[in-house]
Amino acid sequence: MLVARLHGTRDIRIGEEDPPPADGGGAAGAGEVLVRVTAVGICGSDLHWWTEGAIGDAELAHPLVLGHEGAGVIESGPRAGQRVAIDPAIACGTCRACRDGYRNLCYRIRFSGHGDTDGMMRQVMTWPSSLLHPLPDSVSDAGGAMLEPLGVALWALDLGHLPFGGTASVTGCGPIGLLLIQLLRAAGASSVVAVEPLAHRRDAAARCGAGLVLDPGEPASGFGVDVAFEVAGNDDSVRIALESVRPGGRVVLAGIPDGDTTTFTASLARRKGLTIAMTRRMNDVYPRAISLADRGVVDLEPLVSRRAALGEVAAAFTAAAGRSGLKVIIEPQR
């Protein structure tokens, strides 16, 4: 089978490797099945690995298969032939965080395409059957891969505690920000302000339901929204989020910063008495995300701007890093 492995900064190589066994031996553990991967999205966190060889305080220790936004078809076991979305997080189930109901905060989590756990940018993989969610016919393979960023946006929305009929701002209109705008409108937001430096993403934000779309150079203070969502991962976007929210409001930081550091003016947040929430991936939201996509509450397909075969992965990463489009999807079976 073909596999894409990251060996270092901007050094991703395609190679032939033996497929994992389907009988639970070797790389597969108890409860794991063989999955033929049909679609994988390139995420902003993948781009951190690509451009920095690290993400946060995690550094590339050995050649790693990236990819955690995926869909596929089960190839072994009683569910063989079923199309599925792949939940990328394997929680231990026994630590304090898991026992408290926060699988996404598991102390011993294994995450696809991170640390010692190879990800989805390969033609075949093994994964726990319990983390493979059936896809309805209404959701394509690419849409199945988009369910992971939709889940991240949905978890950020949960953390925002948006009042019904309230107002919100979204700073950073990549795929997660655009999905968040759709969710906010579906959740009853009376208005959504979007802030984004790239013109084509500002246009996409308007199409997704933002009532007011701004360039970061335009003032965001004075809007007084109930909840501000920061999805860009830089200090300027954090500042804009803090400025846009009302006194006593809430700010959700979902972006991952370069260099693993976020800074903001303390007095700005303190004098407004803001509550700041930090996101960590998502927590058991796949069934809700699938339902939203199946019912057409969110539209996933227009966010896919490029599709590439596994052999074109280096060019696809270069394009994704240039942010000339929206979501880049790798199709390993092409």
Contact 191, 167 (CB under 8 A): yes
d(CA 235, CA 243): 12
DSSP string, 4-60: EEEEETTEEEEEE-PPPPSSS-TT--TTEEEEEEEEEEPPHHHHHHHHHSEETTEE-
Q: Which CATH superfamily is domain 2-135+300-331 in?
A: Medium-chain alcohol dehydrogenases, catalytic domain (3.90.180.10)
d(CA 257, CA 301): 27
Closest by Cα among 176, 110, 113, 183 to 146? 176
d(CA 230, CA 149): 15
If one counts every other C-beta atom within 10 angstroms of the C-beta of residue 328, the result is 26
d(CA 257, CA 235): 8
2-135+300-331 and 151-278, same CATH topology: no
Mean pLDDT by groups of 10 residues along the chain of 334 residues: 94 92 54 96 90 83 94 95 97 96 95 93 96 97 97 97 97 97 97 97 97 88 91 94 96 89 93 96 94 96 95 94 93 95
d(CA 84, CA 319): 27
Cα separation of the two ends of the chain: 12
Contact 6, 293 (CB under 8 A): no
The pLDDT score that the predictor gives to residue 112 is 95
d(CA 235, CA 318): 24
Q: Which CATH superfamily is domain 151-278 in?
A: NAD(P)-binding Rossmann-like Domain (3.40.50.720)
Domain boundaries, the chain: 2-135+300-331, 151-278
d(CA 298, CA 282): 18
Closest by Cα among 37, 34, 36, 120 to 78? 34
d(CA 271, CA 191): 25
